[in-house]
């Protein structure tokens, strides 16, 4: 359905961080009265100060929007738009109490995150970084039948913990490589949405069957610290662990110990606890592929996120129901 898309000149919007040019343009086209918080002011205090007189603030995961933030939010602010799929950094209850609407993008980044997951899957199972390092260091002494043996994907089981939009896109891609997909979710999905993946309710059975375990669940009270020492001990020996959701799903001490002991053969991690100050021990383990939280870092996803937020803000202002409205 077409919206009345006249520009909203009188609606001041603040971007709490620089976005890709295409994304800024998407906001600017609808909200010409757009300001971008300068780098040196990008703190919670800076956002609150700049938000005076502003009607909508677009924030990123850089900012933890806690109760204090919402209590200190200037009265002018009606809408907080999250430029992220995750919202574990936002106190939704406090937003509700403050009477501010919170909206996030609809499902526009699953393809990008799933693509990156496949990159991590291949990078870990085929030991890509070890190969790159070997060549770059000049230490490669020629072809050898035993050099950097990895594992073929066909026939292996990919266990997906959190079968949301991202998990399902990874499932489709991994099946094209001949992998079998098991998944664990709060509830089993309807058959047509499951798309050939098998629901496994029991944690022990799920983990014991994984050649590769992917963490793609939102960070909630239930999923936090999911991959702890006990669950790692249930994993199939030599399994590979991938995490593209949130670092908080993993007990770092336990995973690092298992990697060092060779019980877990490798890890592909795009997210960490305390980013960017990740546990430095990860960087000393050759079988770890560590990325700087770039799952949704494509022009397509980042532009679509802006388009979706613009649409969401507009709908809220028109009093329409918005599927991705959290408060
Ligand atoms: C997301 O969209 O949640 C990404 O993790 C980065 O914000």
Domain residue ranges of the chain, discontinuous segments joined by +:
13-108+298-317, 110-290
CA distance 42 to 59: 10
Q: Is 17 a catalytic residue?
A: no
pLDDT value at residue 2: 44
Q: What fold is seen in the domain 13-108+298-317?
A: Rossmann fold (3.40.50)
The label of the residue with tokens 């592929």 reads: 289
pTM to 2 decimal places: 0.95
Q: Are 150 and 173 in contact (CB under 8 A)?
A: no
Ligand 1 centroid – CA 319 distance (Å): 27
**Active-site annotation holder among 151, 281, 293, 315:** 293
Question: How many whole angstroms from 269 Cα to the centroid of ligand 1?
Answer: 14
pLDDT at 8: 87
**In angstroms, what is the span from residue 273 Cα to ligand 1's centroid?**
14
| Residue from 98, 231, 246, 302 carrying the catalytic annotation | 246
Q: Which CATH architecture has domain 110-290?
A: 3-Layer(aba) Sandwich (3.40)
- Ligand 1: lining residues by beta carbon, under 6 Å: 61, 84-86, 296
Q: In whole angstroms, what is the distance from residue 136 CA to residue 159 CA?
A: 33
Name which residue sits closest to atom 7 of ligand 1, judged by CA: 84
- ipTM attached to this prediction: 0.94
138 Cα: distance to centroid of ligand 1 (angstroms): 37
Spatial separation of the C-alpha atoms in residues 219 and 226, rounded to whole Å:
10
Q: How far is the CA of 326 from the centre of ligand 1 (A)?
A: 16
Q: What is the pLDDT of residue 10?
A: 86
Q: Do domains 13-108+298-317 and 110-290 have the same CATH topology?
A: yes
**Closest C-alpha residue for ligand 1 atom 2:** 84
φ, ψ for residue 199, nearest 5 deg: -75, 130
Q: Is 275 a catalytic residue?
A: yes
Cα 136 to middle of ligand 1, angstroms: 32
Question: Which residue has its alpha carbon closest to ligand 1 atom 6?
Answer: 84
Per-10-residue mean pLDDT, the chain, length 327: 65 97 97 97 98 98 97 98 97 98 97 98 98 98 98 98 98 98 96 96 97 98 98 98 98 98 98 98 98 98 98 95 94
What pLDDT does residue 1 have? 41
The atom of ligand 1 lying closest to the CA of 271 is: 5
Pocket of ligand 1, candidates 62, 81, 85, 216: which has the most ligand atoms within 8 Å of its Cβ, to mutate? 85
- Closest atom, ligand 1, to C-alpha of 60: 7
Residue nearest to atom 4 of ligand 1 (CA): 84
Rounded to whole angstroms, the Cα distance separating 260 from 112 reads 31
> Vertex 230, ends 226 and 223: CA angle to 5°?
10
Cis peptide before 100 (omega within 30 of 0): no
3-state helix, strand, coil in the chain (%, to 5): 35, 15, 45
pLDDT in tens, 1-34: 445 557 888 899 999 999 999 999 999 999 999 9
Tell me whether residue 314 is one of the annotated catalytic residues: no
299-317 vs 21-30: helix axis angle to the nearest 10? 20
Instruction: Quote the tokens at residue 25.
Output: 């343009």
- What the block records as the tokens of 231 is 């669950």
Query: Which among 17, 23, 60, 86 is the best mutation to test ligand 1's pocket, defined by most ligand atoms within 8 Å of the CB?
Result: 86
């Amino acid at each position: 359905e077409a919206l009345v898309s006249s520009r909203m000149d009188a609606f001041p919007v603040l971007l709490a961080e620089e976005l890709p040019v295409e994304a800024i343009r998407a906001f600017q086209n609808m909200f010409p009265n757009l300001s971008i918080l300068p780098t040196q002011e990008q703190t919670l205090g800076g956002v609150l100060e700049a938000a005076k007189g502003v009607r909508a603030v677009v924030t990123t995961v850089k900012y933890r929007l806690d109760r204090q933030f919402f209590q200190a939010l200037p009265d002018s602010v009606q809408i907080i738009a999250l430029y992220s799929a995750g919202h574990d950094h936002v106190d939704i209850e406090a937003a509700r109490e403050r009477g501010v609407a919170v909206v996030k993008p609809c499902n526009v980044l699953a393809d990008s995150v799933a693509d990156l997951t496949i990159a991590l899957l291949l990078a870990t199972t085929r030991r890509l970084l070890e190969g790159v390092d070997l060549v770059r260091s000049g230490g490669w002494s020629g072809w050898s039948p035993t050099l950097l043996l990895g594992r073929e994907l066909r026939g292996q089981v990919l266990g997906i913990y959190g079968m949301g939009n991202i998990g399902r896109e990874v499932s489709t891609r991994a099946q094209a490589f001949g992998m079998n997909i098991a998944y664990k979710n709060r509830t089993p999905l309807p058959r047509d949405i499951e798309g050939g993946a098998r629901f496994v309710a029991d944690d022990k059975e799920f983990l014991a069957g994984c050649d590769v375990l992917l963490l793609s669940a939102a960070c909630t009270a239930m999923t936090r610290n999911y991959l702890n020492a006990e669950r790692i001990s249930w994993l199939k020996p030599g399994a590979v662990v991938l995490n593209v959701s949130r670092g908080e799903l993993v007990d770092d001490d336990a995973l690092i110990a298992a990697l060092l002991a060779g019980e877990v053969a490798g890890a592909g991690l795009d997210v960490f606890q305390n980013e960017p100050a990740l546990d430095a021990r990860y960087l000393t383990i050759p079988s770890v592929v560590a990325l700087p939280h770039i799952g949704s870092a494509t022009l397509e996803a980042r532009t679509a996120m802006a388009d979706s937020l613009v649409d969401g803000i507009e709908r809220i202002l028109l009093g329409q129901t918005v599927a991705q409205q959290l408060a």
